[in-house]
Structures are given as C-alpha cells and as structure tokens.
Amino acid sequence: AQSVTQPDIHITVSEGASLELRCNYSYGATPYLFWYVQSPGQGLQLLLKYFSGDTLVQGIKGFEAEFKRSQSSFNLRKPSVHWSDAAEYFCAVGGGSYIPTFGRGTSLIVHP
C-alpha cells in the first residue's frame, strides 16, 4: 500500500524568503508524485508532477520539486515566497491502486 507523510502541519516564512515543504512517500516501485495547492475557499490546483526522467521538476507559480529515491522524498521548493503563496499544500503519490493517496497537508503562512 502507498502512503504519504507531510511532517510539517504549519510552516511560517517571511515574504521574499526561500521555502521548502517536505514530503515523504512509501511505495515499493517507482511512484507517481504530485504537489497540489489549495487557496482559501477553493479546490486543489496541480502545481507539478513527477512520473519519470529528470528528478528536478518545474511547476507553475515558480515552484519546483526534487525526487530523491534514496530518501523517498519529493520536497517542494520556491526561492522567494510571495504573500499570495499563503495556502494549503498537498503532496500525493500514485501507485498500484491507481487512486492517488494524499498527505494531510501543510499550511503555509507568509509574514510581510
């Protein structure tokens, strides 16, 4: 069975600072990995996805994520955070069940 852990419930950063959100997965084979963002009052929007190939994946809104098989991780990064990035972020893994499993989410708070 596949599973996802997002160790941080809340992350607080200052505007302009760099950001890294952690995601660890458990899956026996090569996983399919996703990051979604949920702005207040809205549904989830896909930021980026990893299927195979280059382990550094570029997404929308200036985000990137790096797949590290040895660490079973898929951390999300952004070099300079904007106030509009304040949102809930979800990591998800797809695998043998074909239905993605979501982490519990990390809430990003941005201080001016």
Residues forming contacts to another protein in the complex (CB under 8 A) are 9, 32, 34, 36, 41-46, 49, 51, 90, 94-95, 98-100, 102-105
Q: Are 108 and 9 in contact (CB under 8 A)?
A: no
The answer to whether 54 and 33 have CB atoms below 8 angstroms apart is no
Shorter beta-carbon distance to another protein: residue 67 or 105: 105
Q: How far is the CB of 50 from another protein (least distance, A)?
A: 10
DSSP alpha helices (H): ranges in the chain?
none
Q: Which C-beta is closer to another protein: that of 53 or that of 112?
A: 53
Cβ contacts of 98 within 8 Å, gap of 6 or more: none
Please report how close the Cβ of residue 6 comes to another protein at its closest, in angstroms.
8
Q: Is 85 helix (H, G, I), strand (E, B) or coil?
A: helix
Q: How far is the CB of 15 from another protein (least distance, A)?
A: 25
